[in-house]
Amino acid sequence: MQNLNRIADPVYVRIDGEVWRTRFNGTVYSIDWNAFDLPAWLLPELKAVLIQRLRDRCRRELANMGALLAALQRTSPAAFDGHAALGNLTAAELAAVMLALQPVSAEYAGYFRSLYADLELIGHPGCTEEKLEQLRQYRLSGKTSLPDVRAWDPRTGALTTSELEVLRGNLLPPLRPETDTEHFCRVMLRTLAALGRRPSQMLAVPADGICRRPQAPGLPAVICVPGGKAQRNSAPRPYDLPDDLYDDLMRFAERPAIREAQAHFGLFFLTPMTEQTRVAGPMATTSCTRLLQDWISRIGIISPRTGKPLHVTPTRLRHTVATQRARKGWSKADIREFLEHSSDHAVDAYIDAVGNDMTPALERADRALGGVFSDLASSFQGKVVPRPAGKIDKPVIVPDLENRAIIGQCGRTGTCPHSPFAACLAGCAHFLFFRDADVGAVEDFLRGEHERWRQAEGNAQRTRIQDDFARIHAGLRAAGIAAGMEDD
């Protein structure tokens, strides 16, 4: 079979025997199905899902499957006993298999869950979304995806609002002349900061991939960007370009040395032919990243947050664009689609970055209390209820590690797309505010977070984030008044 992820330079996987193998860049990847003492019915099901994966995923799937089968053999799950298909297992039995793998490796447990998700996706008999949702409730690893994004790491997390403004100012066309390579670095960074695509995708944009819409000249220009990773063989997706960025890109393409390179390689984002060492294909991502970082270093941009040279990479820009989407209230599904991700794990990090009550607060206004809630109502819209005597389902907690007071609960049926606390106070009709809630604890938290934001931004000018603080505070006061508390 052919790995469809590489149509132009195909990789073939031999699957006509009990030993499946492929060779890539001189390395052989294989799996021997006869090497595992597992129920006879299990292997054909796993073979079926592995075939689907090998069509568009990495050849290392062979090694991943082999490691999982070895772990299953070691743990000998009793849940398999008496069954003839994975679809026959209950959610509890599937969880038992998964959790038995966890002590061996959380990665194996997660891989088993992902295989079950693929079986459910292709409609394998008995594999249901309900069972899958129950499996997803288990946290298999103490690690979190993209921890630097969640913690707003000053070198590897998303850029803060003030950092992004400073960077954008330095990416505008300069008054002084610039070389072909300098122009390449600048427009590449501008485009990455605008679209949040991977550098490998931008480097694969064809030479004629940026244009005005001939049927609708009044609409924005578009750039057609090829898919990344598992979507690399899908049709290029059009993205709108601001007029000033489009004009900048066209000036770049009009440079004689760039036009010559584009004609030779058939790609848009290139440096002059005299700087190329390859004969075909796009520039290597690592080479591009080094070029961009060298340009940033020469410009000498200083971060208003740290007072040190601003560290900028394509990955940081992608994190920044994704986090901005979360701040604007985009749903998890919309962010995942925008990023072309196949799962929610990385997306959760961006949503947590703007609303996770466990994240260290460096720019909390941009996270738990910031722009993500700007489009919500401006005052308390929930209900005041007595505190339940028993267990509190879906509690809403003050995101303060020192005083995690429960001030209410979510009354929404199903999963809420917003992060708790700030969204609840800023106009959610499903919020059930407890009559005896500790309003003082919330007030203290909001004052502290407002001060942290001011220190992170380095100035106290009025911004939309200031309005967000005011909106949440107004919701808190309205909730307190509705609960019959003194309005002080």
Q: What is the pLDDT along the chain (488 residues), one digit of tens a residue?
A: 555 444 455 778 889 899 999 887 678 889 999 999 999 999 999 999 999 888 766 667 898 999 999 999 998 888 898 999 999 999 999 999 999 998 888 889 989 998 999 999 889 999 999 898 888 877 777 666 788 888 888 899 999 888 999 999 999 999 999 999 999 999 999 999 999 999 999 999 999 999 987 777 778 899 999 887 656 656 788 999 999 999 999 999 999 999 999 999 999 999 998 877 766 778 888 889 999 999 999 999 999 888 899 999 999 999 999 998 887 778 888 888 888 886 677 788 887 777 543 333 334 433 343 333 333 333 567 788 888 888 787 888 877 656 668 888 888 776 666 656 777 776 677 888 888 888 778 777 777 766 665 555 444 443 444 555 555 666 666 666 556 643 33
Residues in the chain: 488
Residue in this structure with the two tokens 């000053």, named with its chain if needed? 154
Report the candidate in 348, 288, 335 with the shortest Cα–Cα distance to residue 313.
Answer: 288
Q: So what's the pLDDT on residue 462?
A: 39
> Model-level pTM?
0.58
**Inter-residue contact 49 to 118 (CB < 8 Å):** yes
SS (H, E, C) the chain: CEECCCCCCCEECECCCCEEEEEECCEEEEEEHHHCCCCCCHHHHHHHHHHHHHCCCCCCHHHHHHHHHHHHHHHCCHHHCCCCCHHHCCHHHHHHHHHHHCCCCHHHHHHHHHHHHHHHHCCCCCCCHHHHHHHHCCCCCCCCCCHHHHCCCCCCCCCCHHHHHHHHHHCCCCCCCCCHHHHHHHHHHHHHHHHCCCHHHHHCCECCCEECCCCCCCCCEEEEECCCHHHCCCCCEEEEECHHHHHHHHHHHCCHHHHHHHHHHCECCCCCHHHCCCCCCCCCHHHHHHHHHHHHHHHCCECCCCCCECCCCHHHHHHHHHHHHHHCCCCHHHHHHHHCCCCCHHHHHHHHHCCCCCCCCCCHHHCCCCHHHCCCCCCCCCEEECCCCCCCCCEEECCCCCCCCEEEEECCCCCCCCCCCHHHHCCCCCEEEECCCCHHHHHHHHHHHHHHHHHHHCCCCCCHHHHHHHHHHHHHHHHHHHCCCCCC
pLDDT score of 461 = 43
pLDDT of residue 173: 93
Return the bridge partners of 29, or none: 22
> What pLDDT is stored for residue 364 in this prediction?
40
Those residues whose C-beta lies under 8 Å from the C-beta of residue 280, and which sit 6 or more positions away, are 265
Q: Where are the domains of the chain?
A: 2-136, 161-311, 357-482
pLDDT at 370: 37
- Domain 161-311 is of which CATH architecture? Orthogonal Bundle (1.10)
pLDDT tens figures, 84-136: 999 999 999 999 999 999 888 888 998 999 899 999 988 999 999 989 888 88
